[in-house]
Amino acid sequence: MRAIQAYTKSSSFIVSFIFTSLLLLGVGFNTYVLTVANDDLLISETQAAISADIGGFRSLYTAAGRSAVIQALEDRINSINNGFLYYLKDNNGRYIAGNLATWPDSDVVPIKNGLLEIEVDMRPDQGRFASRGQQETAIAMVMEFGNKDTLLIARSVQDIEFAVKLARTSSSILIVIVCIISILSIVVAYYVVSRINLISETADEIISTGNLNDRLYVDSSWDDLSKLTLALNRMLEKIQQSVNNIQSVSDSIAHDLRTPLTRLKSHIEQLPNQDDKYALIEECDKLLDIFNSLLRITDIESSAKRSGFEQTDISMVVEDVIDLYQPIIEDKAIKLGTTIEPNLMLHSDKNLLFQAFANVLDNAVKFTPANGTINISITQDKHLNAYKFSVDDSGIGVNEEVIDKLTERFYREDKSRTASGNGLGLSLVSAIVSLHNGEIVFSKTHIDTPSGLCCTFTLPVEGSAK
């Protein structure tokens, strides 16, 4: 059973999807920034700043004349963090004020909307600009104050261009990092889901087969899931030791008590014939049956019986079992239906399978009332490459919540406690089916009746003797 049936339904995928979506949103925003942070935006912002400066100087010249403009220029030049460049000249071209050394050449490059792209040559007395270099690119506009003076206002774009280039580079790097993180988040989510499914499938196989010798696969020790797998393997080791100890104790008790019980039965048989004598002998036989069944189950579960495997027509085995119980079935007037495919060859232990088939049919006959119905079938499932044996009855059935307990040792449902038995028959069947790498399943009967039970076990055609 997979813990997560679909990767897209897992919480890891949902988290990674949300995380990736947020990161991609950041990528989109950065892409937008890269798109709008271009030369046109740079020119537009510079033009707006120069135009605002021109408007201020025009108003100042009109109101207070040249001297006020010269004073304002000096204040601007001496102010901190002022990126503007100025050159004021009279109508004869003589320098009046400003921080530019020369008026731009007549071949300056026009950009648009009255803007010019000029090479900046700073005045020697502007020492605080020495670190900027003697030549740099600026964008400028020219304004005239009537027919007297002309003012050039320029703004250097070197720092702005550097900031824009830095922003573009940073955004590009960020986009690459975000894409890598997005891919890694999806990969990590897929890895987590795959490991969880692997752990779940292995654990489910251990539970379904009851083979506590199996362990969860560990291929690393650096991640948390590997540490969890190691912890689960240690837990399985402890559980296996506990189960083995319990089985060892029960087997030892069964083995050690069988001999004294046999002696006790012999002594009872030597007593004079009385009703109590036969009752005691019957109780001794029941106890001996329990101990023999326990030891037989242990013997089967230890795989000691594989030496008896051979090619067997299990269809014939089922027919022999039906023949054995035919008189009892007829006495109870039970309607028997059979579906038996011939020549179903299986590498198996004939005697053990006979015991398993007989135990299942015995239960069906025991708990099916007179005039009831039992259907027996053994067929080949080509899709599963296995044989399927099933017994359907219209008996008293079992409660659905206890179906999984039917193969536990000594378990008997309340409905069946009045019938003879020791609760080991289906445990023996389960051990035999597991020995043949099969699977036993109980379900509600398919017969049209309010109660009843269906027992089905699947025996794989290949690998039954592995």
What's the pLDDT tens digit per position in 416-432? 544 555 567 788 888 88
Residue 5 in any domain: the answer is no
What's the pLDDT tens digit per position in 428-450? 888 888 888 888 888 888 787 87
CATH code, domain with 278: 1.10.287.130
Question: What's the whole-number mean pLDDT along residues 347-352?
Answer: 84
Based on the fold, state whether residues 391 and 345 are members of the same structural domain.
Answer: yes
The percentage of residues in the chain with a pLDDT greater than 70, rounded to a whole number, is 67
Select the more confidently predicted residue: 129 or 228.
Answer: 228
The H or E element spanning position 196 is: helix 158-209
- DSSP symbol at 97: E
Q: Which of 269, 286, 301 is the last residue of a domain?
A: 301
Which pLDDT does position 5 carry in this prediction?
Answer: 52
Exposure b/e, 390-419, CB count within 10 A at least 16 = b: bbbbbbbbbeeeebeebbebeebbeebeee
Residue 73 in any domain: the answer is no
Radius of gyration of the chain (CA): 48
Which pLDDT does position 254 carry in this prediction?
Answer: 58
Based on the fold, state whether residues 317 and 278 are members of the same structural domain.
Answer: no
Instruction: Say yes or no to pLDDT of 465 above 50.
Output: no
Based on the fold, state whether residues 437 and 322 are members of the same structural domain.
Answer: yes
Which pLDDT does position 136 carry in this prediction?
Answer: 63
What's the pLDDT tens digit per position in 284-293? 766 666 666 6
Question: What's the whole-number mean pLDDT along residues 218-225?
Answer: 71
Entry pTM:
0.46
Kindly report the average pLDDT of the chain as a whole number. 76
Based on the fold, state whether residues 278 and 338 are members of the same structural domain.
Answer: no
Residue 261 in any domain: the answer is yes
Which pLDDT does position 169 carry in this prediction?
Answer: 79
> Which pair of tokens denotes residue 453?
């039970």
> Which pair of tokens denotes residue 351?
């005697």
The percentage of residues in the chain with a pLDDT greater than 90, rounded to a whole number, is 9
Based on the fold, state whether residues 276 and 363 are members of the same structural domain.
Answer: no
Which pLDDT does position 430 carry in this prediction?
Answer: 84
Which pLDDT does position 376 carry in this prediction?
Answer: 92
Based on the fold, state whether residues 277 and 406 are members of the same structural domain.
Answer: no
Residue 39 sits at φ, ψ, to 5 deg, of -65, -40
Question: What residue numbers bound the domain in which 390 lies?
Answer: 306-460
Question: What's the whole-number mean pLDDT along residues 363-367?
Answer: 87
Which pLDDT does position 389 carry in this prediction?
Answer: 92
Question: Are the CB atoms for 76 and 84 separated by under 8 Å?
Answer: yes
Residue 436 sits at φ, ψ, to 5 deg, of -95, 20
Which pLDDT does position 375 carry in this prediction?
Answer: 92
Residue 153 in any domain: the answer is no
What's the pLDDT tens digit per position in 371-392? 999 999 999 988 888 999 999 9
What's the pLDDT tens digit per position in 176-218? 887 887 788 778 777 777 778 888 888 877 776 667 777 777 7
Which pLDDT does position 318 carry in this prediction?
Answer: 92
Residue 39 in any domain: the answer is no
CATH code, domain with 359: 3.30.565.10
Q: Which of 301, 322, 343 is the last residue of a domain?
A: 301
Residue 186 in any domain: the answer is no
* Number of domains forming the structure of the chain: 2
3-class DSSP state for residue 92?
coil
Based on the fold, state whether residues 267 and 332 are members of the same structural domain.
Answer: no
Question: What's the whole-number mean pLDDT along residues 221-229?
Answer: 75
Residue 259 in any domain: the answer is yes
Which pLDDT does position 131 carry in this prediction?
Answer: 41
Closest to 423 measured CA to CA, from 294, 248, 303: 294
Based on the fold, state whether residues 345 and 454 are members of the same structural domain.
Answer: yes
Q: Which of 241, 272, 301 is the last residue of a domain?
A: 301
Based on the fold, state whether residues 229 and 287 are members of the same structural domain.
Answer: yes
Residue 347 in any domain: the answer is yes
- DSSP symbol at 105: P
> Which pair of tokens denotes residue 466?
């592995």
Based on the fold, state whether residues 243 and 329 are members of the same structural domain.
Answer: no
What's the pLDDT tens digit per position in 97-156? 888 888 877 666 665 555 666 666 666 665 444 444 445 667 788 888 876 888 888 887
Residue 122 β-bridge partners? 100
Based on the fold, state whether residues 282 and 322 are members of the same structural domain.
Answer: no
- In angstroms, the Cα distances linking 193 to 7, 11, 233 are 7, 9, 19
Instruction: Say yes or no to pLDDT of 281 above 60.
Output: yes
Based on the fold, state whether residues 450 and 341 are members of the same structural domain.
Answer: yes
Question: What's the whole-number mean pLDDT along residues 230-247?
Answer: 76
Select the more confidently predicted residue: 322 or 105.
Answer: 322
